[in-house]
Amino acid sequence: MSKKEIGYTKGDYERVRYGVRDYEKGQGLVRGRGRDSLEYRGRVRQKDIKERDLMNGGYKSSSSSSDSGSSGGGGTRRCGLAVRHVDREPGELSSDGSDGAIDSGTHANGESEVKKRENVNQSSPVQNKKRKFSPIVWDRDDREVSRVINSRSNVDANNLPPPRPLVKSCSQSPNPKPSPHANVQVPLTDDLNLEASSSKVDLRPGLSDHPAETSSPQPEEVTSDKNIRTGEEELHVRNMEPGEVDGEDYAPARTIISSRWATDDDSPGDEGEIPDHEDLPKLKRRSVSDSAEARGRSKSISPEVGEVQREGSEVTRRRSYGSDERSRSSSRDNNDENDNSMDIDDNQNYDVASVSQSDSESEDDHGSRDTPDLAPPVQKSVNMLQGCRSVDEFERLNKIDEGTYGVVYRARDKKTGEIVALKKVKMEKEREGFPLTSLREINILLSFNHPFIVDVKEVVVGSNLDSIFMVMEYMEHDLKALMETMKQPFSQSEVKCLMLQLLGGVKYLHDNWVLHRDLKTSNLLLNNRGELKICDFGLAQLLLGAKQYSTAIDMWSLGCIMAELLSKEPLFNGKTEFEQLDKIFRILGTPNETIWPEFSKLPGAKVNFVKHQYNLLRRKFPATSFTGSPVLSDAGFDLLNKLLTYDPEKRITAEAALNHEWFHEVPLPKSKEFMPTFPAQHAQDRRMRRVMKSPDPLEELRRKELQQGELGTGGLFGQ
Ligand SMILES: Nc1ncnc2c1ncn2[C@@H]1O[C@H](COP(=O)(O)OP(=O)(O)OP(=O)(O)O)[C@@H](O)[C@H]1O
């Protein structure tokens, strides 16, 4: 369709491209696609760089204590009480929520999928009726943020936690013991705190006035100027037995003040609004990395008690690195001939010493620049990498994929033989320090423990201490690549099975005040036990006109994902922002003030969009079809519609979606055990498959780049 047809001037077009994207992403209208564009990636990089600057290049990672086998996801057991129904598919759950498969003759005791779902809900009995907002203000003045960082650093200088063991992986033992440091209170770290704390939240008023359009409990926290109590942010970690896995008895996750988005207004006791920590799903018995303010002061985290070093002990620390380096060198020597060594790659020459050094420098710079009059706070500098295993302890099998923020390999733990996925953190060639996005991801994933969130087991370092890898449970597929190999889309009962898991994971995130912000099928992993897990918590940088996001942003994505699972095709497959908006409006109708009262206030809404009057979604997903279109019952369509509701205030929540009647009608959700299995995709680079399949010109461009780059040099699979 020409520009003329849709009524855009060139100026409008530009505004759409550079203004509306902000608006639409802010409201969760664009899912994933934009991140694929080179232009966007460039901007992402710029944003990252800007953020890292804010953080003084601060380099700090999470620590964790030992945790065993907690990836959970334990498959549901088949259960009796199967109600035969002509419409049921093999593996469908029975209508009473039991896991009895239709072809199951015997009735084993077991936890039903639905029951498990209920448990997931119950595990966090917080009535999550409130939309949670991320008080992130991207265009905040940098200096203001810096000032906040500094002032917070000072305030919290004496509140640092005692030194503690680092990542569970740092003390690798075949039989990990409960950490003696369990129950230690660990200040949360990460940029998210930082952002949150330095942001003011202008939350929108109450519930929708349009109950007819809203089936879900809706927001909202009615507060203003919410400030995060960062100094008090704590993670309460409970003792666990080795091998203890998550289940129904989610342990206290953290107090509300530990939430990345917790605010003063969110004080416990506010009925229904503040999750009691007792009620939150448990987090991993790992410590989340140190506080943002601590990061601003320190360089690394020590794995050992007594390794705390004060500012000024740079020499000592360097020596420490040096000796570590030496020992690793010898290990590397032994492995030099091993072609599978992980740190062969790539073209990145950064090293941790330099990271540390530059951290130090930038920190010093920062300190002297911004807080000349302030006495330096007590420094507790710890070395995150000491004690972490080397990636040499893994044998690289093949590259799985390469995303924006990291390369993912399939690898084998040489000690245990376990197959894992290793995500190598991409560092900027310009040595800008540890990427903030990766820091976020490591921090979040180490702290989370949920069957529907990918498990990060540990962090390991390259032989030269020049690279960082996240060791994750290996998942055979991602849904995007998988669907590209499938001839038929998933059946309704399979989609229900996948959606239930996805919603369970998202609910867990939202209960923990985390917005994923980049949910898409390539970030949903599936193993051959039918278990779905959400990955990629790099939290795409959103360049928005709108200033706040809420959990609704993820729910929109879930609508897109549900549609894609049903049809095996992306719902809105625009190749540009402009095209994407156009497709959305054509299918859902152009939003207006009536259906979305805040719409016209959004920066991007000034563009004079063509008014598509009707919502044509039902045509794409009819109740019956003779044309091969994916069919969807009325209840299913209702859910899809509620996920794809323009107004974020009216969009359904994860909790409400989990309880939607679609999951209770036939065909019932398939039990995970009965989900189809697919040939493992490990033999192929998923990225290449996508590139080769995609007609997207941007992908074509990228493919050329790849060919000129490392693919051209060969060695993709053989290393
Ligand atoms: N634990 C895992 N097991 C198997 N494959 C994985 C795992 N984690 C990630 N992958 C694969 O690697 C791909 C990229 O991973 P991920 O999305 O975490 O990287 P990214 O750099 O953040 O990507 P993006 O460009 O989407 O932001 C995924 O789409 C998936 O195919």
CA 276 to chain CA centroid, nearest Å: 23
**What pLDDT was estimated at residue 422?**
95
Q: What is the 3-state secondary structure (H, E, C) of 323-348?
A: HHHHHHHHHHHHHCCCCCCHHHCCCC
Ligand 1 closest atom vs CA 402: 14
Start-to-end C-alpha separation, the chain: 47
The CA distance from 256 to 277, in Å, is 6
Ligand 1 centre to CA of 455 (Å) is 13
Ligand 1 closest atom vs CA 533: 1
Which protein residue's CA is at the shortest distance from atom 5 of ligand 1? 475
Which residues have C-beta atoms less than 6 Å from ligand 1? 400-401, 403-406, 408, 421, 423, 454, 472-475, 478, 481, 522-523, 525, 535-536, 538, 686
Best of 43, 425, 535, 685 to mutate for ligand 1, by most ligand atoms within 8 A of CB?
Answer: 535
Ligand 1 centre to CA of 536 (Å) is 6
The CA distance from 11 to 3, in Å, is 11
Catalytic residues: 518
Which protein residue's CA is at the shortest distance from atom 19 of ligand 1? 403
Which protein residue's CA is at the shortest distance from atom 23 of ligand 1? 403
CATH number of 396-473: 3.30.200.20
Q: Which residues of the chain have pLDDT under 50?
A: 1-87, 94-130, 133-382, 430, 540, 542-547, 692-703, 705-719
Ligand 1 centre to CA of 644 (Å) is 25
Strand duo 406-413 + 419-425: pairing: antiparallel
DSSP string, 608-634: ---------HHHHS-SS-SSSPPP--H
Classify domain 477-681 at the CATH topology level: Transferase(Phosphotransferase); domain 1 (1.10.510)
**What pLDDT was estimated at residue 270?**
34
Ligand 1 closest atom vs CA 426: 21
Ligand 1 centre to CA of 551 (Å) is 22
Which tokens hold the place of 82?
């199967």
CA 110 to chain CA centroid, nearest Å: 30
Nearest Cα to Cα of residue 408 among 331, 497, 481, 469: 469
Which protein residue's CA is at the shortest distance from atom 18 of ligand 1? 536
**What pLDDT was estimated at residue 448?**
86
Which protein residue's CA is at the shortest distance from atom 11 of ligand 1? 401
CA 593 to chain CA centroid, nearest Å: 32
Q: pLDDT by residue (tens digit) across 414-436?
A: 999 999 999 988 776 546 677 77
**What pLDDT was estimated at residue 447?**
83
DSSP string, 109-146: ----HHHHHHHHHHHS-S---SPPEE---TT--HHHHH
Which tokens hold the place of 109?
């005791």
Residue found by looking up tokens 């069919």 in the block: 631
> What letter represents residue 380's amino acid?
K
The CA distance from 595 to 503, in Å, is 25
The CA distance from 528 to 494, in Å, is 14
Ligand 1 centre to CA of 689 (Å) is 14
**What pLDDT was estimated at residue 688?**
53
- Phi, psi for residue 257 in degrees, rounded to 5: -70, -10
Residue found by looking up tokens 């959103």 in the block: 542
Instruction: Give the domain ranges of the chain.
Output: 396-473, 477-681
CA dihedral 119, 123, 125, 127 (to 10 degrees): -90
Q: Round the CA-based radius of gyration of the chain to a whole number and report it.
A: 25
**What pLDDT was estimated at residue 244?**
36
Ligand 1 centre to CA of 524 (Å) is 9
Best of 35, 399, 401, 694 to mutate for ligand 1, by most ligand atoms within 8 A of CB?
Answer: 401
The CA distance from 44 to 710, in Å, is 22
Ligand 1 centre to CA of 409 (Å) is 9
Whether ipTM > 0.95 holds is yes
DSSP string, 459-520: EEE-TTS--EEEEEE--SEEHHHHHHH-SSPPPHHHHHHHHHHHHHHHHHHHHTT-------
Beta strands in 549-680 (DSSP E): 549-550
Which protein residue's CA is at the shortest distance from atom 29 of ligand 1? 522
The CA distance from 286 to 447, in Å, is 6
